[in-house]
A and B are shown apart, each in its own frame.
Chain A
């Protein structure tokens, strides 16, 4: 669906040149919600703006829907851009136009008739739940409502892709969740491919299917959200997850020193999260356990649990407990040596 090949973006020339992206490849599948997470300055904003060529890469190819956008003429590009919707952190609505006129904007660019525009805008207003606000100006709306207008406007031209540039970063947590639910809803209803960039792991965890972690102008890790989230490899990824799950470091230090005895991190995914596997196995092998830390939550709609557990008992019994848990399909990582 979207293929970025060898994207390099250098700002400025000569000695003042700054490289935002270097030789980056990325592949996004049709119908998925793909998240890109990174700190500010990592190049994520440049990356998403390269997808519709708001930012023209210094080098590389941008393929969307089988078309290399970098080779198009100005007018061909304008045509292709209508298939790519975009929403922004600061909404970027026309302050001089009503909600209705903002949503109608892309339709008027396409020179549709008045009746066609009316039909489409009405449909979009009901999709984003703003029917009563059609004649208001953006200044009269809350942040969440403004982003809903932004979403309706982005969807007006029936795009195949929706790009979200920090779309929830200016919103409070509750509003963020309602916007994320709306995006997920749209993704399912319209089978729309969504690419979003964010610096919040929470956003990725809530709605993304796959995630890429960007750092220093390149992608350092990518994959299914559950895999990346539960088994992070790169230091930057671990940092994002720590900030989300708030795993505290005194415990980590105590575990590493071995003063707490044998501790393991057990990861449950899917239905296993709700099963009593742990106590069942422990009862069988005769060991006792204490839960030192735990998270039970969901990734998109999939439940998961991650527990740090200390076992008490015969060394052999502990080992067979671990073996049995693994045999039951749980992921067990021994934290102490």
Chain B
């Protein structure tokens, strides 16, 4: 490839963008788990109930989750600008993108949680019921520990998805590596910054995946 000049890259800006991306990832990741984990548990529990009312709750929740998951993130992000303003006071920068990231990723993570909980052996849950465990005790002491490898894998997938979401948020002034890549590479035809930004994101995703796989392996007892 000719005509690439990496010497013109502003490494200070690169570093700032990387830190911004990591911050977005961290905060949105934390809030996605805080929202998505209980939502996934509720989906799992309500989906197995025989109670008509709870079945209706499940259908409604499931429908909302599907809608949020079917809207392309880039559109969701634009649509959520007023929401972001209402929650964090701004719709741009690291802070402004977090509500959209969380609302985009939490339903996705909730589905992953629901799926991993369904993998838990029915017999073990039944044994806990037979020992007089309440629903809360079953969730805390059976479902979550037994599903731990699946949940960790789900968190890994969600974080990787969030990396690409943070990149997209560059389109609406979100900041971070994606923002850098779009501003320099797409708007100003400075390929070098774009290439480096993309490489950084690739490395980030690889690191997340490796760390996630290690944790899953560490907690798998089967």
Question: Does the CB pair B132–A82 fall under 8 Å?
Answer: yes
Q: Is A105 an interface position by the 8 A CB rule?
A: yes
Give A109 to B127 CA distance when docked, in angstroms. 13
Q: Is A97 an interface position by the 8 A CB rule?
A: yes
From residue 204 to 222 of chain B, which have CB atoms closer than 8 A to chain A?
219, 221-222
Question: Does the CB pair A81–B128 fall under 8 Å?
Answer: no
Q: Is B49 an interface position by the 8 A CB rule?
A: no
Q: Is B134 an interface position by the 8 A CB rule?
A: yes
Give A274 to B127 CA distance when docked, in angstroms. 45
Question: Does the CB pair A78–B133 fall under 8 Å?
Answer: yes
Question: Does the CB pair B219–A81 fall under 8 Å?
Answer: no
Q: Whole-angstrom distance from the CB of A124 to the nearest CB of chain B? A: 14
Q: Is B72 an interface position by the 8 A CB rule?
A: no
Question: Does the CB pair B124–A54 fall under 8 Å?
Answer: no
Q: Is A86 an interface position by the 8 A CB rule?
A: yes
Q: Is A63 an interface position by the 8 A CB rule?
A: no
Question: Does the CB pair A96–B219 fall under 8 Å?
Answer: yes
Question: Does the CB pair B141–A105 fall under 8 Å?
Answer: yes
Give A313 to B141 CA distance when docked, in angstroms. 75
Q: Is A234 an interface position by the 8 A CB rule?
A: no
Q: Is B121 an interface position by the 8 A CB rule?
A: yes
Question: Does the CB pair B142–A94 fall under 8 Å?
Answer: yes
A139 in complex: contacting residue of B128, B130, B221, CB < 8 Å: B221
Give A132 to B40 CA distance when docked, in angstroms. 39
- How many residues on A have C-beta within 8 angstroms of the other chain's C-beta atoms? 28
From residue 61 to 113 of chain A, which have CB atoms closer than 8 A to chain B?
75, 77-82, 84, 86, 88, 90, 92-97, 105-106, 108-109
Q: Whole-angstrom distance from the CB of A157 to the nearest CB of chain B? A: 7
Q: Is A198 an interface position by the 8 A CB rule?
A: no
Bits for A107-121, please: 1 = Cβ < 8 Å to B, else 0.
011000000000000
- Which of chain A's residues has its CB closest to B149's CB? A96
Q: Whole-angstrom distance from the CB of B118 to the nearest CB of chain A? A: 16
Contacts of B133 in A (CB 8 A): 78, 109
A sample of 13 more A-B contacts (CB under 8 A), given A78-B132, A78-B134, is A54-B126, A79-B132, A81-B132, A86-B127, A88-B123, A90-B123, A92-B124, A95-B121, A95-B221, A96-B148, A97-B145, A109-B141, A139-B221
Residues of B within 8 A of A (CB): 121, 123-124, 126-134, 137, 141-142, 145-146, 148, 219, 221-222
* 5 tightest A-B CB contacts, nearest first: A92-B127, A81-B132, A92-B123, A78-B132, A96-B145
